[in-house]
Amino acid sequence: MIIIIGNQKGGAGKSTLTLLLANYLTLAKKCKVTVVDSDYQQSLSQKYEKAKLLENPELYEVIAASLEDYPVMYEVYAVNKKEIVLIDLPGKLDDDGLIPIFKSADLIVCPFAYDEFSFESTILFSVVLRQISPKVPIAYIPNRIKANVKYETQKEVDEQLTKFGTVTEPIPDRIDFQRVNTLQTPLSVYPLVISLFEKIFKEHIKPIIT
């Protein structure tokens, strides 16, 4: 199964969300997971290499790969639908290398914020994605939401995004998310994401891998 985590806007929390989902799938659901780090910063693969130096058991493999590598890699991934491949995309759309990734995806996870710039980038990402892959499910995740802030555009944004996919419950903004790595998710973080991930797993992932 191919799950891509993407948005046109950088800083939406894609890489952290990729780690959270990878840790959840391996630790809570005992799934076989591979993470493909195609973001230009390659923060995930850097964290993975640092974690390997500690000689702790690896939960999953993180592979740094360019978009151009994907068509060949997909021939391997497509063999086993029960193995989950999470792809952290770069924050841009002007690369033809994204087309085969979009076409092969079984699920799109799209973190976003309720500010105007993030919304415009998310809509652009959605329009391009729908042109390439009209039927793939999209789960929009409001990310880094501050509890004491009233988002005046929230209702309008949710209405627009539901034309393309499903808007999930939000992930709050917490300092503990900075401690997420390829070895573990802090226990304090689980109550903030477990309900969201359980729903995504039940609705989108379990029907494909079982």
Q: Please tell me the predicted confidence (pLDDT) of residue 149.
A: 67
Q: In what order do the strands lie in the sheet with 61-64?
A: 61-64, 33-37, 84-88, 2-5, 107-112, 138-142, 166-167
Position 116 scores a pLDDT of: 78
Look up the CATH number of the domain holding residue 171: 3.40.50.300
What was the pLDDT predicted at 180? 92
Q: What is the SS3 assignment for 159?
A: helix
Query: Residue 74: helix, strand or coil by DSSP?
Result: helix
Whether the pLDDT of residue 35 is over 90: the answer is yes
Q: Is the pLDDT of residue 22 over 90?
A: yes
Structure confidence at residue 3 (pLDDT): 97
- Helices in the chain by DSSP H: which ranges? 14-23, 43-53, 70-77, 98-104, 116-132, 154-161, 190-200, 206-209
How far apart CA 161 and CA 164 sit, in angstroms, is 5
163: domain range?
Answer: 2-209
Q: Which residues pair with 112 in a beta bridge?
A: 142
State mean pLDDT over 4-21: 88
- What the block records as the tokens of 195 is 């309900």
Overall pTM surpassing 0.75 (yes/no): yes
Mean of all residue pLDDT scores within the chain: 90
Residue 87 in contact with residue 5, Cβ under 8 Å? yes
How many domains does the chain contain in total? Answer: 1
Q: Which residue has the higher pLDDT, 40 or 188?
A: 188
Average pLDDT, integer, range 143-160: 83
Evaluate if residue 158 carries a pLDDT over 70: yes
